[in-house]
Amino acid sequence: MKAHPAKFEHGTGLRIGVSARFFHSAPAESGLGNKTLLYLEQSMAHWLMAHGALPLLVPSLNVATRLRADDYARALDGLVLQGGGDISPLTYGEIVDWSSDALRDAYELELLRAFIACGKPVLGVCRGAQLINVAFGGTLYQDIPTQLPTALHHLDLKEFDRLRHDVLIEPESHLAGFYSGITQKRVNSLHHQAVKRLGTGLAVEARAADGVIEAIRWTGPGYLFGVQWHPEFDSPDEPGLLSARPILEEFLAAARTTGERPA
Protein backbone atom coordinates (compact mmCIF):
# COMPACT_ATOMS: atom_id res chain seq x y z
CA MET A 1 0.00 0.00 0.00
CA LYS A 2 1.32 3.44 -0.90
CA ALA A 3 2.20 5.58 2.10
CA HIS A 4 0.25 8.75 2.77
CA PRO A 5 2.32 11.62 1.28
CA ALA A 6 1.85 13.82 4.35
CA LYS A 7 3.46 11.30 6.72
CA PHE A 8 7.07 10.34 7.38
CA GLU A 9 8.42 7.98 10.00
CA HIS A 10 8.89 9.43 13.50
CA GLY A 11 7.75 12.89 12.34
CA THR A 12 4.72 15.11 12.65
CA GLY A 13 3.95 14.91 8.94
CA LEU A 14 4.29 18.69 8.67
CA ARG A 15 6.11 20.13 5.69
CA ILE A 16 7.42 23.55 6.64
CA GLY A 17 8.75 25.84 3.94
CA VAL A 18 11.67 28.05 4.92
CA SER A 19 12.50 31.15 2.91
CA ALA A 20 16.05 31.18 1.57
CA ARG A 21 18.92 33.34 2.66
CA PHE A 22 20.74 34.76 -0.37
CA PHE A 23 24.46 34.80 -1.21
CA HIS A 24 24.46 36.85 -4.40
CA SER A 25 28.12 36.14 -5.03
CA ALA A 26 29.23 32.73 -3.84
CA PRO A 27 32.30 32.51 -1.58
CA ALA A 28 35.49 31.62 -3.44
CA GLU A 29 35.85 28.33 -1.57
CA SER A 30 32.48 27.15 -2.91
CA GLY A 31 33.89 26.69 -6.41
CA LEU A 32 30.81 28.40 -7.89
CA GLY A 33 32.35 31.64 -9.09
CA ASN A 34 29.84 34.49 -8.99
CA LYS A 35 26.76 32.27 -8.83
CA THR A 36 23.98 33.00 -6.32
CA LEU A 37 23.53 30.61 -3.41
CA LEU A 38 20.23 30.02 -1.64
CA TYR A 39 20.71 28.49 1.79
CA LEU A 40 19.06 27.37 5.01
CA GLU A 41 20.93 28.11 8.23
CA GLN A 42 21.60 24.89 10.15
CA SER A 43 20.19 26.00 13.52
CA MET A 44 16.84 26.83 11.94
CA ALA A 45 16.65 23.47 10.20
CA HIS A 46 17.54 21.58 13.38
CA TRP A 47 15.08 23.60 15.49
CA LEU A 48 12.22 22.56 13.23
CA MET A 49 13.46 18.99 12.92
CA ALA A 50 13.76 18.63 16.69
CA HIS A 51 9.99 19.04 16.86
CA GLY A 52 9.37 16.47 14.13
CA ALA A 53 8.71 18.87 11.25
CA LEU A 54 10.30 18.46 7.84
CA PRO A 55 11.93 21.77 6.78
CA LEU A 56 12.05 22.43 3.04
CA LEU A 57 13.94 25.34 1.50
CA VAL A 58 11.77 27.35 -0.89
CA PRO A 59 13.92 28.59 -3.80
CA SER A 60 13.61 32.00 -5.38
CA LEU A 61 11.31 32.22 -8.40
CA ASN A 62 11.80 33.96 -11.71
CA VAL A 63 9.97 34.40 -15.01
CA ALA A 64 11.67 31.31 -16.46
CA THR A 65 10.05 29.00 -13.88
CA ARG A 66 6.53 27.70 -14.25
CA LEU A 67 6.10 27.36 -10.49
CA ARG A 68 4.79 30.29 -8.47
CA ALA A 69 4.67 31.16 -4.79
CA ASP A 70 1.09 29.94 -4.49
CA ASP A 71 2.19 26.49 -5.74
CA TYR A 72 4.45 26.24 -2.70
CA ALA A 73 1.79 27.68 -0.41
CA ARG A 74 -0.68 24.99 -1.48
CA ALA A 75 1.87 22.18 -1.17
CA LEU A 76 3.34 23.12 2.24
CA ASP A 77 1.80 23.38 5.69
CA GLY A 78 3.46 26.60 6.87
CA LEU A 79 6.24 29.07 6.22
CA VAL A 80 9.17 30.33 8.28
CA LEU A 81 10.80 33.58 7.18
CA GLN A 82 14.46 33.29 8.16
CA GLY A 83 16.70 36.01 9.51
CA GLY A 84 19.44 37.58 7.43
CA GLY A 85 20.52 40.85 5.85
CA ASP A 86 18.71 44.16 5.98
CA ILE A 87 15.39 44.83 4.27
CA SER A 88 15.82 47.54 1.65
CA PRO A 89 14.35 50.90 2.76
CA LEU A 90 13.02 51.18 -0.81
CA THR A 91 10.64 48.35 0.10
CA TYR A 92 8.93 50.62 2.65
CA GLY A 93 9.34 53.89 0.76
CA GLU A 94 12.48 55.36 2.31
CA ILE A 95 15.96 56.28 1.06
CA VAL A 96 18.62 53.57 1.14
CA ASP A 97 21.35 54.34 3.67
CA TRP A 98 22.60 50.81 4.29
CA SER A 99 23.50 47.65 2.41
CA SER A 100 20.26 45.78 1.76
CA ASP A 101 18.66 43.12 -0.43
CA ALA A 102 15.62 44.28 -2.41
CA LEU A 103 15.63 41.06 -4.47
CA ARG A 104 15.18 38.93 -1.38
CA ASP A 105 12.51 41.36 -0.13
CA ALA A 106 10.40 40.89 -3.27
CA TYR A 107 10.79 37.09 -3.15
CA GLU A 108 9.78 36.84 0.51
CA LEU A 109 6.90 39.28 0.18
CA GLU A 110 5.52 37.14 -2.63
CA LEU A 111 5.82 34.02 -0.47
CA LEU A 112 4.27 35.73 2.55
CA ARG A 113 1.25 36.93 0.60
CA ALA A 114 0.76 33.53 -1.04
CA PHE A 115 0.75 31.70 2.30
CA ILE A 116 -1.64 34.24 3.82
CA ALA A 117 -3.97 33.86 0.83
CA CYS A 118 -3.92 30.07 1.30
CA GLY A 119 -4.66 30.40 5.02
CA LYS A 120 -1.32 28.83 5.97
CA PRO A 121 0.59 29.98 9.09
CA VAL A 122 3.71 32.13 8.86
CA LEU A 123 6.41 32.61 11.50
CA GLY A 124 8.90 35.45 10.99
CA VAL A 125 12.25 35.45 12.78
CA CYS A 126 14.30 38.67 13.14
CA ARG A 127 14.38 39.96 9.53
CA GLY A 128 11.23 37.87 9.01
CA ALA A 129 9.37 39.81 11.71
CA GLN A 130 10.48 43.06 10.11
CA LEU A 131 9.29 41.83 6.71
CA ILE A 132 5.84 41.06 8.14
CA ASN A 133 5.64 44.61 9.45
CA VAL A 134 6.67 46.07 6.09
CA ALA A 135 4.18 43.84 4.25
CA PHE A 136 1.37 45.46 6.25
CA GLY A 137 2.51 49.00 5.51
CA GLY A 138 4.83 49.50 8.45
CA THR A 139 8.32 51.01 8.47
CA LEU A 140 11.63 50.22 10.17
CA TYR A 141 14.35 51.97 12.07
CA GLN A 142 17.18 51.62 9.57
CA ASP A 143 19.81 51.68 12.32
CA ILE A 144 18.97 51.59 16.02
CA PRO A 145 22.22 53.15 17.33
CA THR A 146 21.90 56.26 15.14
CA GLN A 147 18.11 56.67 15.18
CA LEU A 148 17.57 55.59 18.79
CA PRO A 149 20.84 56.58 20.52
CA THR A 150 19.47 55.88 24.03
CA ALA A 151 18.42 52.31 23.14
CA LEU A 152 19.98 49.18 24.57
CA HIS A 153 22.68 47.37 22.66
CA HIS A 154 20.75 45.14 20.26
CA LEU A 155 23.76 44.05 18.21
CA ASP A 156 27.33 43.13 19.10
CA LEU A 157 29.19 41.37 16.29
CA LYS A 158 31.75 39.94 18.72
CA GLU A 159 29.09 38.52 21.04
CA PHE A 160 26.75 37.69 18.14
CA ASP A 161 24.02 35.31 19.42
CA ARG A 162 25.41 35.42 22.97
CA LEU A 163 24.23 39.02 23.46
CA ARG A 164 21.22 39.12 25.80
CA HIS A 165 18.62 41.62 26.96
CA ASP A 166 15.23 41.39 28.63
CA VAL A 167 11.90 41.48 26.83
CA LEU A 168 8.67 42.58 28.45
CA ILE A 169 5.65 40.55 27.34
CA GLU A 170 2.56 42.69 26.82
CA PRO A 171 -0.14 41.88 29.42
CA GLU A 172 -3.24 40.20 27.97
CA SER A 173 -1.40 39.50 24.70
CA HIS A 174 -1.68 36.17 22.93
CA LEU A 175 1.99 35.54 23.70
CA ALA A 176 1.40 36.12 27.42
CA GLY A 177 -1.00 33.19 27.40
CA PHE A 178 1.87 30.82 26.57
CA TYR A 179 4.10 32.07 29.39
CA SER A 180 1.81 31.98 32.41
CA GLY A 181 3.11 34.24 35.16
CA ILE A 182 6.12 35.40 33.12
CA THR A 183 6.15 39.08 32.20
CA GLN A 184 9.89 39.64 31.71
CA LYS A 185 12.61 37.30 30.49
CA ARG A 186 15.93 37.37 28.64
CA VAL A 187 16.35 36.66 24.92
CA ASN A 188 19.24 36.84 22.47
CA SER A 189 19.67 39.97 20.36
CA LEU A 190 21.52 40.40 17.07
CA HIS A 191 19.81 43.10 15.03
CA HIS A 192 20.44 46.76 14.24
CA GLN A 193 17.04 47.38 12.64
CA ALA A 194 13.59 47.18 14.24
CA VAL A 195 9.90 47.97 13.76
CA LYS A 196 9.29 51.73 13.67
CA ARG A 197 5.71 52.44 12.53
CA LEU A 198 3.57 49.38 13.18
CA GLY A 199 1.84 47.89 10.15
CA THR A 200 -1.95 47.97 9.78
CA GLY A 201 -3.70 45.14 11.61
CA LEU A 202 -0.64 44.19 13.66
CA ALA A 203 -0.38 44.21 17.45
CA VAL A 204 2.72 44.46 19.65
CA GLU A 205 3.22 41.42 21.89
CA ALA A 206 6.63 42.14 23.43
CA ARG A 207 9.11 45.00 23.78
CA ALA A 208 12.63 45.46 25.06
CA ALA A 209 13.06 47.62 28.16
CA ASP A 210 13.98 50.54 25.88
CA GLY A 211 10.63 50.28 24.07
CA VAL A 212 11.96 48.63 20.90
CA ILE A 213 9.32 46.26 19.54
CA GLU A 214 10.37 42.61 19.85
CA ALA A 215 7.27 40.60 18.86
CA ILE A 216 4.26 41.32 16.63
CA ARG A 217 1.13 39.41 15.68
CA TRP A 218 -1.49 39.89 13.00
CA THR A 219 -4.94 40.49 14.49
CA GLY A 220 -6.73 39.06 11.45
CA PRO A 221 -7.73 35.44 10.84
CA GLY A 222 -5.12 32.70 10.84
CA TYR A 223 -1.60 32.62 12.26
CA LEU A 224 0.99 35.30 11.49
CA PHE A 225 3.58 36.04 14.17
CA GLY A 226 7.04 37.60 14.22
CA VAL A 227 9.79 37.66 16.85
CA GLN A 228 12.83 39.94 16.68
CA TRP A 229 15.11 37.51 18.52
CA HIS A 230 16.33 34.13 17.20
CA PRO A 231 14.58 31.35 19.13
CA GLU A 232 16.38 28.76 16.98
CA PHE A 233 19.78 29.85 18.37
CA ASP A 234 18.99 29.33 22.05
CA SER A 235 20.03 26.42 24.20
CA PRO A 236 17.08 25.05 26.21
CA ASP A 237 19.49 24.41 29.09
CA GLU A 238 20.56 28.05 29.55
CA PRO A 239 18.95 29.42 32.71
CA GLY A 240 17.03 32.66 32.59
CA LEU A 241 16.15 32.59 28.88
CA LEU A 242 12.60 32.73 27.57
CA SER A 243 11.79 29.25 26.31
CA ALA A 244 11.47 29.02 22.54
CA ARG A 245 9.38 25.86 22.72
CA PRO A 246 5.89 27.46 23.08
CA ILE A 247 6.52 29.68 20.04
CA LEU A 248 7.37 26.76 17.77
CA GLU A 249 4.68 24.49 19.21
CA GLU A 250 2.00 27.12 18.57
CA PHE A 251 3.19 27.62 14.99
CA LEU A 252 3.26 23.87 14.29
CA ALA A 253 -0.18 23.43 15.86
CA ALA A 254 -1.50 26.09 13.47
CA ALA A 255 0.22 24.30 10.58
CA ARG A 256 -1.32 21.01 11.63
CA THR A 257 -4.80 22.54 11.68
CA THR A 258 -4.63 24.38 8.36
CA GLY A 259 -2.28 22.07 6.51
CA GLU A 260 -4.32 18.87 6.55
CA ARG A 261 -4.36 17.30 3.10
CA PRO A 262 -6.76 14.64 1.85
CA ALA A 263 -5.48 11.09 1.55
pLDDT tens for residues 65-87?
778 999 999 999 999 999 998 99
Q: What is the pTM of this model?
A: 0.90
Are the CB atoms for 244 and 236 separated by under 8 Å?
yes
Percentage above 70 pLDDT, the chain? 89
Q: Is 232 a catalytic residue?
A: yes
Task: Provide CB contacts within 8 A for 147, sequence distance 6+.
Answer: 141
pLDDT band at 251 (very low <50, low <70, confident <90, very high): very high
pLDDT band at 244 (very low <50, low <70, confident <90, very high): very high
Are the CB atoms for 213 and 191 separated by under 8 Å?
no
pLDDT at residue 160, as a whole number: 80
DSSP state of 241: B
Active-site hit among 108, 170, 205, 232: 232
pLDDT at residue 208, as a whole number: 94
pLDDT band at 64 (very low <50, low <70, confident <90, very high): low
In the predicted model, what is the mean pLDDT of residues 156-185? 87
pLDDT at residue 99, as a whole number: 62
Active-site hit among 154, 165, 191, 230: 230
Residue range 8-54, pLDDT digits in tens = 445 568 999 999 988 776 676 776 677 788 889 999 999 999 999 99
Q: Is 230 a catalytic residue?
A: yes
Are the CB atoms for 212 and 194 separated by under 8 Å?
yes
Q: Is 118 a catalytic residue?
A: no
At position 70, the amino acid (one-letter code) is D
Active-site hit among 108, 126, 205, 250: 126
pLDDT at residue 262, as a whole number: 39
pLDDT at residue 259, as a whole number: 55
Residue range 179-211, pLDDT digits in tens = 988 899 989 988 889 999 999 999 999 999 999
- The percent of the chain in helix, strand and coil, each rounded to the nearest 5, is 30, 20, 50
In the predicted model, what is the mean pLDDT of residues 156-173? 85
**Fold held by 15-140+193-206+215-258:** Rossmann fold (3.40.50)
* pLDDT, the chain, mean: 87
